[in-house]
Structure 1
């Protein structure tokens, strides 16, 4: 990787950390330059506009999610073990200081048309599709019946994860993880072959 690309990636890592606290709307070239100890013109040279910075920040967040959640889960054996791993790693993802940028972007851009909204929707669909594909490996392994609606499983797992995030981050419920795993295990039991 060239120096300019390494610098850009380092800037985006700072941007993701900032956006987890302030949302993408609060992310500006000036605030990022200050946090990254760079000049505004140095940051501007990499992004050219606030919207380009926000889009790049969302894309970098997606890369981090793949590195921290999806790749480690895909390294696990196919089937229920892999589905459990993705839930475990996703719950760890929600523990990032400042929260989950995916959820912040969904709240910020759900009703605003444009490229940020479109990317947010694409990322959310990709997450559900990934969960469905992983649930499909449980069908392929014979752990779920052949007629399992893997998109229903994906939606329910996604719902459990969203509920876990709410219970732990917003309500600081001490049993949030135990309750999420109980819900997940009931889901698995309802689909086992």
Structure 2
């Protein structure tokens, strides 16, 4: 047991590096051999932590999920329910991508395209994370509607779909075109969309 905290620390270092690699090269770009070379450790040592490439991929997704929670979701939950929380979620996401918390931008944007048509445990884990995010955005929007901060006829599912599309487009354009204006365009689009949906046009909470 004495070695367990040390083992956990080593595993966390491995998985953080794995998440960085996957954000750029995809989960299929991960291998125990590549991680061993990058981190200067033995393949056999790494194999002892994960046992298979699939287990490494699943553990990497869990690590990325924890980082996403810390960077995007938890800070937004400190804001009271309502339009302010919706705006904070969107801003946190843009900031997380823009600051390159993962060097390849949003980890989940990168791996979703890779696994969206592949059945299996890895696809299921990626799909679950994506669904959790979209449900959270939808629920946050619906809270704002119920509080009277968005119009009564606001379709929370539709608005969440559109806001997430703006976020992902900003991420993609920044990466693909090295566009320094992509995030500000995303912010402008989100602000206009939310302003148009507010119950009170003067409410920019």
Which bin holds the TM-score, normalised by the shorter protein?
over 0.9
Mark the runs of 5 or more structure 1 residues left unpaired by the alignment: none
Q: Distance in 2 between matches of 1:152 and 1:76?
A: 23
1:142 aligns to what SS in structure 2? coil
In the TM superposition, residue 135 of structure 1 has moved relative to its aligned partner by 1.0
Contact 2:23–2:111 (8 Å) recurs in 1: no
Aligned residues between the structures: 193
For residues 115-172 of structure 1, the C-alpha deviation after alignment (integer angstroms, 9 at most, x for no partner) is 1111111111111001111112212332013442211111011011011112222122
Q: Distance in 2 between matches of 1:59 and 1:76?
A: 25
Match of 1:42 among 42, 45, 50: 45
Normalised by the size of structure 1, how large is the TM-score? 0.93
Instruction: Give the match for residue 133 of structure 2.
Output: 127
Instruction: Give the match for residue 189 of structure 1.
Output: 195
In the TM superposition, residue 37 of structure 1 has moved relative to its aligned partner by 2.2
Match of 2:154 among 148, 156, 169: 148
Instruction: Give the match for residue 30 of structure 2.
Output: 27
Match of 1:75 among 78, 82, 90: 78
Aligned structure 1 segments of 4 or more residues deviating by more than 4 angstroms? none
Normalised by the size of structure 2, how large is the TM-score? 0.88
The answer to whether the aligner puts 1:9 opposite 2:12 as a matched pair is yes
What are the equivalent positions in structure 2 for 1:56-95 lying under 5 Å apart?
Answer: 56-95=59-98
Contact 2:22–2:111 (8 Å) recurs in 1: no
Q: Distance in 2 between matches of 1:98 and 1:180?
A: 18
Q: Distance in 1 between matches of 2:8 and 2:147?
A: 41
Match of 1:163 among 165, 169, 177: 169
Mark the runs of 5 or more structure 2 residues left unpaired by the alignment: 200-205
